[in-house]
């Protein structure tokens, strides 16, 4: 699972939105990925969506 394209953190959760709808949500900044019918598809969409955004800032835990 890739980092958040907005804040660069790896703190995420797959959330249940409503009947048959899941999405990945960043626990750091609150960004939410596209809705999907399963949690596995939600993760795939989060990772695919990541590829269209500019490079996020480095994760604070990563060595400089």
Percentage with pLDDT > 70 across the chain: 75
H-helix segments, 1-64: 39-50
Name the pairing type of β-strands 21-26 and 12-18.
antiparallel
The structural domains of the chain, with segments of one domain joined by +, span 1-56
Rounded-to-integer distance, Cα 19 and Cα 31, Å: 21
Rounded-to-integer distance, Cα 26 and Cα 33, Å: 9
Q: Quickly state the pLDDT bin for 51 (edges 50, 70, 90).
A: low
| pTM score, whole prediction | 0.69
Backbone dihedral angles phi then psi of residue 23, each to the nearest 5 degrees: -155, 150
- The burial class, CB within 10 Å (0-12 / 13-18 / 19+), for 26 is buried
- pLDDT at residue 21, rounded to an integer: 92
């Amino acid at each position: 699972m890739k980092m958040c394209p907005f804040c660069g953190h790896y703190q995420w959760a797959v959330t249940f939105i409503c009947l048959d709808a899941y999405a990945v949500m960043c626990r750091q900044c609150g960004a939410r990925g596209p809705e999907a019918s399963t949690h596995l598809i939600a993760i795939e969409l989060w990772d695919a969506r990541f590829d269209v955004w500019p490079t996020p800032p480095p994760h604070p835990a990563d060595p400089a």
